[in-house]
Amino acid sequence: MNDKLLVAKTLAAVLDGALSESEITKLLETPKKSEMGDIAFPAFTLAKSLRKAPNLIASDLAEKISSDAFEKVVATGPYVNFFLDKSNTVATVLTTILKDGAAYGTQPQNGENIAIDMSSPNIAKPFSIGHLRSTVIGDSLAKIYQKIGYNPVKINHLGDWGKQFGMLIVAYKKYGSEAAIRENPIAELLKLYVRINKEAKVDPTIDVAARDWFLKLENGDDEALTLWQWFRDESLVEFDRIYTELGVEFDSMNGEAFYNDKMDEIVDILAEKDLLTESNGATVVELEGFEIPALIKKSDGATLYITRDLAAALYRKRTYKFEKALYVVGNEQSGHFKQLKAVLKKMGYDWADDIFHVPFGLVTKDGKKLSTREGNVILLEPTLKEAVKRAQTQIDAKNPDLANKTAVAHAVGVGAIKFYDLKNERLNGYDFNLEEMVSFEGETGPYVQYAHARIQSILRKADFSPEKADLSALSLLDDESWEIIKLLQAFDATVARAARTFEPSVIAKYSINLAQAFNKYYAHTRILDENDEKNARLALAYATGVVLKESLRLLGVDAPEEM
Ligand code: ARG
């Protein structure tokens, strides 16, 4: 039983119905200092209804409670403080982790699907840090939800449609070189795109031509489609390289273009429900409480981003019957997702309430906004390479004889970037500082990985195996062990909170706390000393290793056995 539940049940039994178990659970607090016990009940919440002084209520309650499940129960001022029976908790936590291994905290399958729209870069443009954030946060949320019993469906809603392809075709036909694009696809396509946009500012015919080409594309013109397909294929080769580096896979690569033949239905439903109005020749849905209506079709009949998203939402609901659908997309698009949900609601789809925009903040570099024009850019592939190189340098210095150094450096370098991204609450942006990310000190991925590797090295030295572990002489009553035990015990509640709030940072912070608690223990205790407690100490180290590795896995970060 979970400890809060135990306390709530115990209190309910002596409160004679003054409060229900669930009311009590909500009131329970965790004392700031461990001298004050493990769980506290604020008795002053009962002062009014019982017409008694809070301190008196607290001391009466403490007196009435007699339970073997607690080491002691004492009144301190208006609080009833519960001290858990440590040896009981130690035994339960450690035997469970030894038995379950990586499955510790995994909830049974609930048969529900969760659709996760993630990564979704734009064809013919560089893969930005925003898309990296979406990829890494989305991938972690998929793992977290899987852990609590869901079946995640990871969808890469590629930006592979829109007027920009009209622009690109115009540019290619004017100055493009097939060979140059084959050589260096995204860089070349980006050059064309930048050049044509500059030109469009002074030459209005370019915009007209681009619109024509996009309409041709929407109408299935052969030449337009062939060029589009080529740009798309070339871009995907580059994106796939990045996904391989990151170790991220998708269940669906259906981008915006996939919905081309699915938008008529949306327009039909909107018309049927009488939701469409004309505005300056365009077709829109008026939305109460919004400054601008949702633009469904332009005056020339071209469809828009939101039209494709409406079709995508309906398609996903039908195909995956999702219980929840997440969209991991930058905060700057929150207006778009509010509109999307509002239109779906107007269409009569109550499941619009199961759609969640999971926004995240901006990354800066040297405290400044990223801007291609001002040269403040982070190019992803070279940055990943540099992170691995820096990891390699540190490993060479720390552990020159390490086997498979290259693989470890990759896990550390790439893991460092992911971890740094995920440890920040997602709505807070952060400054991209590779040096800090890859450091073995501080609240970093390498720090947590190193704690895990240290544990494995201790276990190897002791030739420990969980099957052979003898827990008969458990004690571990020192403060440092107790800190670890309490964290291990809180693992499933932590995963649940990360899922509920769509916040991988909850897991990242937890893993830092656990690594720090272990390092403190390690500094105080000679784990390998021969005495009665050695087995229990090894079991504690083992359990910590299991949970550290599992926490990192939920963040998409590997945990090398040695480093
Ligand atoms: N391609 C878009 C961008 O880079 C993100 C797409 C997000 N997903 C969606 N269903 N709208 O801004």
* Residue-wise DSSP of 325-348: EEEE--GGGHHHHHHHHHHHHHTT
Domain boundaries, the chain: 3-84, 162-244, 380-554
Determine the distance separating the centroid of ligand 1 and the alpha carbon of 329, expressed in angstroms: 7
Q: Which two tokens stand for residue 319?
A: 């195909």
Determine the distance separating the centroid of ligand 1 and the alpha carbon of 333, expressed in angstroms: 9
Nearest to 448 by CA among 404, 386, 512: 512
Mean pLDDT over each residue of the chain, to the nearest integer: 93
The fold of the 380-554 domain, in CATH, is: Isoleucyl-tRNA Synthetase; Domain 1 (1.10.730)
CA-proximal residue: ligand 1, atom 5 (nearest):
120
CA-proximal residue: ligand 1, atom 1 (nearest):
159
Across the beta sheet with 294-297, the strand order is: 276-279, 282-285, 294-297
Tell me how far apart the terminal alpha carbons of the chain are, to the nearest angstrom. 38
Percentage of residues of the chain with pLDDT beyond 70: 99
Q: Is the pLDDT of residue 1 over 70?
A: no
Determine the distance separating the centroid of ligand 1 and the alpha carbon of 120, expressed in angstroms: 5
State the DSSP string of 515-534: HHHHHHHHHH--TTS-STTH
pLDDT tens figures, 245-261:
999 999 999 999 999 99
Determine the distance separating the centroid of ligand 1 and the alpha carbon of 126, expressed in angstroms: 14
Determine the distance separating the centroid of ligand 1 and the alpha carbon of 242, expressed in angstroms: 18
Q: Is the CB of 327 under 6 A from ligand 1?
A: yes
Least confident of 13-17, 36-40, 143-147, 307-311: 13-17
pLDDT tens figures, 247-298:
999 999 999 999 999 999 999 999 999 999 999 999 999 999 999 999 999 9
Nearest to 111 by CA among 323, 350, 354, 353: 323
Q: Which 3 state secondary structure label does DSSP give 368?
A: strand
Q: Is the CB of 117 under 6 A from ligand 1?
A: yes
Q: Is the CB of 207 under 6 A from ligand 1?
A: no
What is the Cα–Cα distance from 24 to 492, expressed in whole angstroms?
21
> What's the pTM?
0.90
Determine the distance separating the centroid of ligand 1 and the alpha carbon of 555, expressed in angstroms: 22
Q: Mean pLDDT over residues 384-397, rounded?
A: 96
pLDDT tens figures, 408-455:
999 999 999 999 999 999 999 999 999 999 999 999 999 999 999 999
Determine the distance separating the centroid of ligand 1 and the alpha carbon of 117, expressed in angstroms: 8
Q: Are 533 and 471 in contact (CB under 8 A)?
A: no
Best residue among 119, 120, 315 to mutate for probing ligand 1's pocket (most ligand atoms within 8 Å of CB) is 120
What is the Cα–Cα distance from 326 to 12, expressed in whole angstroms?
39
Q: Is the CB of 138 under 6 A from ligand 1?
A: no
State the DSSP string of 164-224: HHHHHHHHHHHH--HHHHHHSHHHHHHHHHHHHHHHHHH-HHHHHHHHHHHHHHHTT-HHH
Nearest to 119 by CA among 133, 107, 108, 109: 133
Determine the distance separating the centroid of ligand 1 and the alpha carbon of 385, expressed in angstroms: 26
What is the Cα–Cα distance from 507 to 214, expressed in whole angstroms?
45
Q: Which two tokens stand for residue 93?
A: 């936590």
What is the Cα–Cα distance from 343 to 267, expressed in whole angstroms?
12
Structure confidence at residue 479 (pLDDT): 87
Q: What is the dihedral of CA 481, 486, 491, 494, to 10 degrees?
A: -130
pLDDT tens figures, 175-196:
889 999 988 888 899 889 889 9
What is the Cα–Cα distance from 312 to 426, expressed in whole angstroms?
25
Best residue among 117, 316, 333, 380 to mutate for probing ligand 1's pocket (most ligand atoms within 8 Å of CB) is 333
Q: Is the CB of 120 under 6 A from ligand 1?
A: yes
Ligand 1 atom at minimal distance to the Cα of residue 336? 11
Q: Which CATH number does 3-84 carry?
A: 3.30.1360.70
pLDDT tens figures, 463-499:
999 887 777 667 777 889 999 999 999 999 999 999 9
Alpha carbon distances (Å) from 414 to 403, 424, 426, 559 = 19, 17, 19, 12
CA-proximal residue: ligand 1, atom 6 (nearest):
120
Determine the distance separating the centroid of ligand 1 and the alpha carbon of 256, expressed in angstroms: 9
CA-proximal residue: ligand 1, atom 8 (nearest):
157
If one counts every other C-beta atom within 10 angstroms of the C-beta of residue 491, the result is: 21
What is the Cα–Cα distance from 248 to 242, expressed in whole angstroms?
9
Q: Which two tokens stand for residue 380?
A: 């992803």
Structure confidence at residue 532 (pLDDT): 81
Structure confidence at residue 477 (pLDDT): 74
DSSP label of 472: T
Nearest to 307 by CA among 293, 294, 321, 290: 294
Determine the distance separating the centroid of ligand 1 and the alpha carbon of 244, expressed in angstroms: 21
268 beta partners: none
Q: Are 196 and 205 in contact (CB under 8 A)?
A: no
Q: Which two tokens stand for residue 283?
A: 């077709």
pLDDT tens figures, 356-375:
999 999 999 999 998 766 77
Q: Which two tokens stand for residue 196?
A: 């044509």
Best residue among 258, 307, 329 to mutate for probing ligand 1's pocket (most ligand atoms within 8 Å of CB) is 329
Structure confidence at residue 373 (pLDDT): 65
Q: Mean pLDDT over residues 336-350, rounded?
A: 98
Structure confidence at residue 302 (pLDDT): 81
Q: Are 42 and 27 in contact (CB under 8 A)?
A: yes
Dihedral pair phi/psi, residue 545, rounded to 5°? -60, -45
Q: Is the CB of 159 under 6 A from ligand 1?
A: yes
Asked whether the CA dihedral 531, 532, 533, 539 is positive or negative, the reply is positive
Determine the distance separating the centroid of ligand 1 and the alpha carbon of 157, expressed in angstroms: 6
What is the Cα–Cα distance from 475 to 408, expressed in whole angstroms?
36
Q: Are 538 and 459 in contact (CB under 8 A)?
A: yes
Q: Is the CB of 482 under 6 A from ligand 1?
A: no
